[in-house]
Copies of this chain bind each other. A is one copy, B any other.
């Protein structure tokens, strides 16, 4: 990976996008989605969440989806875990990366996982310990996601110092990687830039990703600000799936295909062909007939004279 030119874009739609969708997205269609994304060049996909079936029935096929994904060579398979129980399932299946989530906002964390952030950190430390207890699980990467890092629907403003402190605690507890998340779509590019720079400076050598929502239309602006600050890992969701039930019609995660186009146009190699993602949009559209699909790339296509980042880089060499 060339820090100047390469960026890893992770598809989160199958997890963050589908978790708010009431209708069950058929398992075969989930697999087709994953395979079509890999065909488009996607290197990393968050394929599910290990939560109890009674809480989110959408993920009742988690094991089946993970097995399909792990059979694809080259794909980095990741999944969300809310607690130790979720981690145990992920370890047993051999998922490459497990994404633990803890909100910086105390009220949000209490609401979401019914405990204080400090108790979540203690839980995470037990997960690290469990992973380390079994040599077969050693290669599994544990990522710590700092949710509501830029604002919270319950508490409003979130103190950036609290974000840094929680990140330090997560690393002390054994996190292999961090994710700074604008869980509720409150962030602006100035915030994203400042926080990203602070993380890059404070945690050199640590893999830091940024997870963005597009609730107020700033998803791509925030992504560009993160790139500008040196972040090279971003999450998105095909067609911007993942709308909040409290903001009808509002987009959810940042639109994955638009982000691919933006990065490539800016000269960042994603390895992904944005036009091939149009086939994935069709799979999603067929299986979510009621859901609005967001994004402008699907409507406008590539500009005339477009040069993908890899070709730009070659020309420059």
Contact = CB atoms under 8 A, between A and B. Distances in A.
A225 to B, nearest CB: 6
A175 to B, nearest CB: 28
Interface size class on chain A is 35 or more
A153 interface: yes
Contacts of A262: 188-189, 216-218, 221
A191 B190 CA distance: 19
A46 interface: no
Interface in A264-317: 265-267, 295-297, 299-301, 303-307
Interface in A125-157: 151-157
Interface string A212-238: 001111101101110010000000000
A186 B157 CA distance: 35
Of A154, A267, A300, chain B has the most CB atoms within 10 Å of the CB of: A300
Interface stretch (A96-104, A110-118, A250-258): A250-258
Contacts of A217: 220, 255, 258, 262, 295-297
Contacts of A214: 296
Contact of A221 (B184, B224, B250): B224
A55 interface: no
Contacts of A224: 189, 221, 224-225
A305 B156 contact: yes
A261 interface: yes
A236 B45 CA distance: 36
A132 to B, nearest CB: 39
Given A262-B221, A266-B189, A216 B300 contact: yes
B261 A216 contact: yes
A228 B194 CA distance: 12
A247 interface: yes
Nearest to A246: B300
A225 B193 CA distance: 11
A249 B294 CA distance: 11
Contacts of A155: 304-305
A242 interface: no
A185 interface: yes
A245 interface: no
Contact of A300 (B185, B223, B228): B185
A224 B262 CA distance: 14
10 contacts: A151-B303, A154-B304, A155-B305, A188-B265, A190-B265, A190-B266, A191-B265, A216-B303, A217-B258, A218-B262
Interface of A: 151-157, 184-186, 188-191, 193, 214-218, 220-221, 223-225, 228, 247-251, 255, 258, 261-262, 265-267, 295-297, 299-301, 303-307
The 5 closest A-B pairs by CB, nearest first: A156-B305, A217-B296, A157-B305, A190-B266, A188-B265
